[in-house]
């Protein structure tokens, strides 16, 4: 059986590479992310996009270097015309707000390239049960299959 595929969104890399937080929720997410990375990532074919690399490279230079180091060797999926069209449709339909255009791009990249899972800690514009139906409707209307959008703790397996 072939491995299933995972698009790693920037928030996952940020939690993975960041210093331990004193905030209990953030610290728990960091621990789950590290656990997933150590125990589960080998069960999947991982992918990112230039959008992830650009976001990971922003901010503090040392922190950005840590994030980009974690992305080294992970194949990048291209932002094709289909990706751009789907991202625009998600924005135009109001499923993802204009201020979160990069989040629409993440959904579009994963959908157009047929990735099984979009792994994220962004629960506002991505792993949000209230918008998943609308995301699926737009993605399907553009002839693609939406990925399962989930957090690392939802993709831990048995």
DSSP string, 104-121: HHHHHHHHHTT-SEEE-S
Task: Write down the pLDDT at residue 157.
Answer: 84
Task: Write down the pLDDT at residue 21.
Answer: 92
First-residue to last-residue Cα distance in the chain:
18
CA–CA dist 46, 110 (Å, integer) = 11
CA–CA dist 96, 56 (Å, integer) = 21
For residues 70 and 42, the answer to whether their CB atoms sit within 8 Å is: no
Phi, psi (rounded to 5 degrees) for 77: -85, 140
Q: In terms of C-beta density within 10 A (0-12 exposed, 13-18 middle, 19 or more buried), how is residue 105 classed?
A: buried
Task: Write down the pLDDT at residue 117.
Answer: 98
Closest CA to 117 of 59, 33, 45: 45
Q: How far is CA 116 from the centre of its chain?
A: 11
Closest CA to 142 of 102, 82, 78, 79: 82
Tell me the chain's radius of gyration from C-alpha atoms.
15
With a cut of 70, list the residues of the chain below it in pLDDT: 1
Instruction: Please give the model's pTM, rounded to 2 decimal places.
Output: 0.94
Closest CA to 119 of 18, 20, 5, 42: 5
Domain that holds residue 66: 4-155
Provide the domain count of the chain: 1
Q: Could you tell me the CATH number of the domain that includes residue 105?
A: 3.40.50.1010
Task: Write down the pLDDT at residue 58.
Answer: 93
């Amino acid at each position: 059986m072939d491995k299933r595929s995972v698009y790693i969104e920037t928030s996952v890399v940020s939690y993975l590479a960041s210093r331990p937080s004193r905030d209990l929720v953030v610290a728990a997410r960091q621990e789950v992310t590290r656990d997933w990375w150590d125990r589960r990532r080998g069960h999947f074919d991982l992918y990112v996009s230039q959008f992830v690399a650009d976001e990971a490279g922003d901010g503090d230079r040392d922190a950005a270097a840590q994030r980009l180091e974690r992305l080294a060797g992970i194949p990048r999926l291209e932002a094709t015309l289909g990706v751009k069209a789907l991202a625009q449709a998600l924005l135009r339909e109001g499923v993802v707000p204009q201020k979160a255009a990069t989040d629409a791009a993440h959904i579009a990249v994963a959908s157009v390239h047929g990735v099984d899972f979009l792994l994220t800690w962004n629960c506002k514009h991505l792993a949000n049960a209230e918008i998943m139906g609308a995301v699926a409707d737009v993605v399907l209307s553009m002839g693609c299959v939406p990925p399962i959008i989930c957090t690392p703790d939802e993709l831990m397996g048995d």
